[in-house]
A = this chain, B = another copy of it.
């Protein structure tokens, strides 16, 4: 029998066992953080109907899709996890609870031209909160991003955040509504290509030197979160899209403060547009301070409408995605591989009313700080509805924050399996939840 040469196609990352252990450690760390925050796993088939996944169309991506026919059907390999999520949510709508907090860690495939740092098969690690238009969900994305990169062993990174409406509103305010998409796409390349190249692109679109300068001045607004907001307010722009975007951005910042994320960890970057994505509001990118050349290691944003393509339901949501394969490859090249450990999701923190939300988030941090996976119920409802939700989701414990019986620093912990409620301080509560392993 003639010998066959053992080889694999270009663009596929295959690791030796020691590397794979490191890779899995990172994957586990990401997954553990996702679970720590109460996201539930789902997995979707690698193979789907081409007619379903490509329903939205989309030139660039479509060319890179692995497609094949069998019988009279055309199939394709999924090329991201967001379109499958949309299909999943539409398909299982009546079996899900909303807001639907899901994580999904799977390989996806794109037949890209193989080159350094580009892979045809790569892991995406995604979380989304679907069916929630509260900016606190957007704020939580920053906290999750922060916790993930801490867990991965990084100390110095920056989560850059923007709101597309701010930039879109400003472009509308300048009178270039119709070119909005193309302008966003050019501005998105500002950091990568530099001022000259982007100037040429914008000029080619017909923008005057003054308008280009206005755009550049705008995206270069920097400073602390408050300073940037202050500068945006002082522009006194009345465009309703801008006004709404600025208001959402401010709401987001309030949420992030509530969540206790250090101000060093995030900044407003008005140049971030993520032009090719379907985001309509908040957008994120995360970069490692010491390795800016790696580019964004975690990106995402908020979308108005995830699911209406597949049915009557129209759900907003917010999510982030880590492309681990590329990131791993770059860390490996740079000789940096590290990780950390944690545990799985057990308690729902329910603030009794909106006034106790801040305290609930604080307590969640302490639970999480003691390694107990925790979700905060940010959606307001009466206690019965919250417990019903907790029951449906099968939380072992519910920690109710702000009941009359509880003194300052105490919570009401309900063991959902026995229905026994106890008023406890946080440490005792942590012990009880922790002891239930």
Q: Among the interface residues A17, A40, A42, A312, which one has the most CB atoms of the partner chain B within 10 A?
A: A17
Task: Assess whether B6 is in contact with A52, with CB atoms less than 8 Å apart.
Answer: yes
Q: Which residues of B contact A47 (CB under 8 A)?
A: 9, 12, 66, 109, 120-121
A258-281 contact mask (Cβ, 8 Å, vs B): 1 or 0: 000000000000000000000000
Q: Does A331 contact B (CB under 8 A)?
A: no
Stretch at the interface among A87-95, A198-206, A209-217: A87-95
Question: Which residues of chain A from 312 to 350 have any CB-CB distance to chain B below 8 Å in the complex?
Answer: 312, 341
Q: Does A420 contact B (CB under 8 A)?
A: no
Q: Does A309 contact B (CB under 8 A)?
A: yes
How far apart sit A7 and B55, CA to CA, in the bound complex (Å)? 12
How far apart sit A70 and B48, CA to CA, in the bound complex (Å)? 19
How far apart sit A20 and B18, CA to CA, in the bound complex (Å)? 28
Given contacts A40-B21, A41-B17, A66-B70, contact A91 B46 (CB under 8 A): no
Q: Which residues of B contact A91 (CB under 8 A)?
A: 6-8
Q: Does A5 contact B (CB under 8 A)?
A: yes
Q: Which residues of B contact A24 (CB under 8 A)?
A: 41
Question: Which residues of chain A from 119 to 160 have any CB-CB distance to chain B below 8 Å in the complex?
Answer: 120-121
Task: Assess whether B66 is in contact with A310, with CB atoms less than 8 Å apart.
Answer: no
Distance (whole angstroms) from the CB of A81 to the closest CB of chain B: 13
How far apart sit A5 and B45, CA to CA, in the bound complex (Å)? 16
Q: Which residues of B contact A49 (CB under 8 A)?
A: 7-9
Given contacts A42-B17, A47-B9, contact A310 B121 (CB under 8 A): no
The number of times this chain is found in the oligomer is 2
Task: Assess whether B8 is in contact with A20, with CB atoms less than 8 Å apart.
Answer: no
Task: Assess whether B109 is in contact with A46, with CB atoms less than 8 Å apart.
Answer: yes
Task: Assess whether A111 is in contact with B6, with CB atoms less than 8 Å apart.
Answer: no
Task: Assess whether A46 is in contact with B45, with CB atoms less than 8 Å apart.
Answer: no
Task: Assess whether B394 is in contact with A3, with CB atoms less than 8 Å apart.
Answer: no
Q: Does A417 contact B (CB under 8 A)?
A: no
Partner of A20, one of B1, B5, B42: B42
Q: Which residues of B contact A197 (CB under 8 A)?
A: none
Given contacts A68-B68, A91-B8, contact A14 B1 (CB under 8 A): no
Which chain B residue has the least Cβ–Cβ distance from A310? B6
Partner of A1, one of B23, B52, B309: B309
How far apart sit A56 and B48, CA to CA, in the bound complex (Å)? 29
Task: Assess whether B87 is in contact with A6, with CB atoms less than 8 Å apart.
Answer: yes
Task: Assess whether A14 is in contact with B45, with CB atoms less than 8 Å apart.
Answer: yes
Q: Which residues of B contact A41 (CB under 8 A)?
A: 17, 20-21, 24
Partner of A45, one of B20, B43, B90, B121: B121
Task: Assess whether A15 is in contact with B42, with CB atoms less than 8 Å apart.
Answer: yes
Task: Assess whether A121 is in contact with B14, with CB atoms less than 8 Å apart.
Answer: no
Q: Which residues of B contact A96 (CB under 8 A)?
A: 16-17
Given contacts A20-B41, A45-B9, A102-B17, contact A55 B87 (CB under 8 A): no
A162-200 contact mask (Cβ, 8 Å, vs B): 1 or 0: 000000000000000000000000000000000000000
Distance (whole angstroms) from the CB of A191 to the closest CB of chain B: 32
Partner of A48, one of B8, B15, B44, B77: B8
Question: Which residues of chain A from 82 to 118 have any CB-CB distance to chain B below 8 Å in the complex?
Answer: 87-88, 90-92, 95-96, 102, 107, 109, 111
How far apart sit A312 and B6, CA to CA, in the bound complex (Å)? 11
**Inter-chain pairs besides A3-B309, A6-B87, A47-B120, 7 sampled, C-beta below 8 Å:** A6-B311, A9-B47, A12-B45, A14-B44, A17-B42, A47-B66, A47-B121
